[in-house]
Structure 1
């Protein structure tokens, strides 16, 4: 999956954002829905699937390993699975594009099947270390050959039967947890993951829905997730809620742009994903949940967000796992708050699509924001609601969340801000700019 030519775009302050909107389906849930449906025996239907490049990379890889995946005219996806243990040898390398989630979770699937798969990706993904997934999967018996530094391209030679393990996560990571659980699906016996710090639990919820024998126990050691292998998964009909990580950009935009009043419909509010909304509320944001409900076992609500003056906080470290993808846009909110916000406890940001700590520090400094960089986050001195300076060229570093975060910063800037390449936004939110323009009253 080659990266398209750079697509620069300019942003500058506009009027208030007003209106109702939706966000694409949750990316984490979309990946998992495809994978679990591909391992069920029979046909599953998925409504609201995120049709971004990352999720499409997962779909392409699963097709290459035997699943039949079809998008119907009404936007519903049908997946005819091969059953746990039924994955086929792919004929060529699996191109993961920019998707770390696809790579790490599919490595777990392959690890306990008697097949070999080579994983490749774009320049950004190929710079990201995979060692934290390689270690537990190797303990289960998979033979993994990686490029220097545990990076892509890499080859996974799966083993069947694999060896069940009890694995304590050294760093909070839902992707590593999910990779081990996915490997455990086709492993005799019980595979356990112990997470001292709770991470997003979409895999556990959805595996239970598909009929896997999975238990979650709260202990002094942390959460112990146990899965019984050689599972038989039952096809499901799944409705994917709106992605809270995508909603975060518009929640911050409405909060910092005077006069804004935005309704974001159908947002997934899994408690392991709502750290950003908690932090914004602590800062004084006006966010109201309307029509709370459950969809497919996941809590969902419509979010009404109105402009409100924000004040600095020290972000509690325990929020980090539930907002790890939202730190870049939180940094933008902090840049518009009154006082000095400290947002730390997020070492994971160093190994995302880009080094998001360094990239955001450079970007915010370029538009006049006072930033102090730490190994695990930033301290940001805000403008107390005054427009940011803007007047800079920002490097997105092939990172969709950097591009979207700085686009929002541009809407709160006095002079134009230019992002060198916004094309990575298509990986998670293909309609981001159209939605932004419509809310700003600029739709044609």
Structure 2
């Protein structure tokens, strides 16, 4: 994919549906009694992997351009798949399935692509084993995993080592099948899409600060779900609009769940001109976001902010490269075990463009303001690296190339079409 330095980016766009919410809508719809109609569903490879896994366990799911229709089988209605479940590149599918499968009465194996097989599952497996789940893995904690039909799961109180929505969700989902309440205590609040959706479907979920408690129940009740646009996908256009002079972009119907809006807080702190209009709330709060070209300055990103913008850190690193002054990203060790080591990847690729970027143990330091030039950027088979470097290319002099651009299909199949429509 060839890109050139951009003229002003202007227009109104809609980005794909929220990836996290799309996964959960299919999973929870499958476990509910009744039919769930999902609009705004993200037709990316990761979410399609979730659909495939539940179809293999006997759930009827219809997919059209307008909606996804899930015919739920109830908490205890899944059937054994004929073969191992394949989760593709999706960490969300893999980890949340561990919690659901721990409560089933049949043995099942699951695995994913080469990237998933390298990602540690020990954080999820450990608390599930405490609950009574019987799980085997390669070297104990890596895919392929086999989850055995075991004894009754027990409710536990679990203090999480890191703030992770995937880990929290896996434990809460297993808690639906436990013999008593399950309590999860986080070091900082992570995204709460699971809690919101489970409550809407009838589960008894109590949240108090960093503590979440769920009670077992007989069944969830189906409810139609409108998936808002994914703020993680909007993030690329928020940064592009901020760094390309003369730009003004409006992104419609973006989810602004408070556990996900760290990207807005940081960009505003860096001096970005962002306005919110048409604010409304259903199961999730949404609004229209408008970004205008801005003179950015450096900042520090760390602490409790990290769980609220973990997926947006690669593109925030791009914003930092075009900002005046120094930006420090810290407390972000989790980036090392995403689809790629995103710390090393972003430092390498930004340096390739002439940026002053330095890797640290838990993040990176970027000294912004240097003129950047085009280059051939690697993607590391990571959709967020690919889109981040495409945004970077818009602000670089000369021509740039994105190697293996098709990886964007994991979360945003039409990313380059949207970029082109804005004038990129």
1:371 & 1:210 partners in 2: Cα distance? 46
* Offset at residue 329 of structure 1 (A): 0.1
Q: State the secondary structure of the residue aligned to 1:188.
A: coil
Q: Which residue number in structure 2 is paired with residue 267 of structure 1?
A: 254
Q: Are residue 368 (structure 1) and residue 385 (structure 2) matched?
A: no
* Offset at residue 316 of structure 1 (A): 4.1
Q: Which residue number in structure 2 is paired with residue 400 of structure 1?
A: 383
Q: Are residue 53 (structure 1) and residue 45 (structure 2) matched?
A: yes
* Offset at residue 160 of structure 1 (A): 4.7
Q: Could you list the per-position Cα deviations for residues 296-329 of structure 1 after superposition, in whole angstroms to 9, with x for gaps in the alignment?
A: x211000010101101111242210100000000
- Superposition map of 1:246-257 within 5 A: 246-257=233-244
2:399 & 2:160 partners in 1: Cα distance? 44
Q: Which residue number in structure 1 is paired with residue 330 of structure 2?
A: 344
1:149 & 1:326 partners in 2: Cα distance? 31
1:214 & 1:315 partners in 2: Cα distance? 31
2:204 & 2:214 partners in 1: Cα distance? 6
- Aligned counterpart in structure 2 of residue 389 of structure 1, from 373, 376, 385: 373
Q: Are residue 10 (structure 1) and residue 2 (structure 2) matched?
A: yes
Whether contact under 8 Å (1:43, 1:235) holds in the other structure is yes
Q: Which residue number in structure 2 is paired with residue 207 of structure 1?
A: 198
Whether contact under 8 Å (1:212, 1:231) holds in the other structure is no
- Superposition map of 1:92-111 within 5 A: 92-111=83-102
Whether contact under 8 Å (1:265, 1:301) holds in the other structure is yes
Q: Are residue 430 (structure 1) and residue 413 (structure 2) matched?
A: yes
| Runs (4+) off by over 6 Å | none
* Offset at residue 417 of structure 1 (A): 2.1
Q: State the secondary structure of the residue aligned to 1:331.
A: helix
Q: Which residue number in structure 2 is paired with residue 185 of structure 1?
A: 176
2:354 & 2:142 partners in 1: Cα distance? 35
* Offset at residue 149 of structure 1 (A): 6.5
- Superposition map of 1:140-289 within 5 A: 140-148=131-139, 150-218=141-209, 223-289=210-276
Q: State the secondary structure of the residue aligned to 2:217.
A: coil
Whether contact under 8 Å (2:203, 2:217) holds in the other structure is no
Segment of structure 1 superposing worse, 188-197 or 362-371: 188-197
* Offset at residue 397 of structure 1 (A): 1.0
Whether contact under 8 Å (1:407, 1:419) holds in the other structure is yes
Q: State the secondary structure of the residue aligned to 2:116.
A: helix
Matched positions, count: 424
Q: Could you list the per-position Cα deviations for residues 363-421 of structure 1 after superposition, in whole angstroms to 9, with x for gaps in the alignment?
A: 1111110012111111101126x4x112x322211100000000100111112222221
* Offset at residue 215 of structure 1 (A): 0.9
1:212 & 1:17 partners in 2: Cα distance? 44
Whether contact under 8 Å (2:302, 2:332) holds in the other structure is no
1:145 & 1:80 partners in 2: Cα distance? 31
TM-score (norm 2): 0.98
2:281 & 2:303 partners in 1: Cα distance? 28
Q: Could you list the per-position Cα deviations for residues 202-235 of structure 1 after superposition, in whole angstroms to 9, with x for gaps in the alignment?
A: 00000000001111123xxxx2211111331111
Q: Could you list the per-position Cα deviations for residues 69-108 of structure 1 after superposition, in whole angstroms to 9, with x for gaps in the alignment?
A: 1124x51111111111222111111111100000000111
- Aligned counterpart in structure 1 of residue 292 of structure 2, from 284, 299, 306: 306
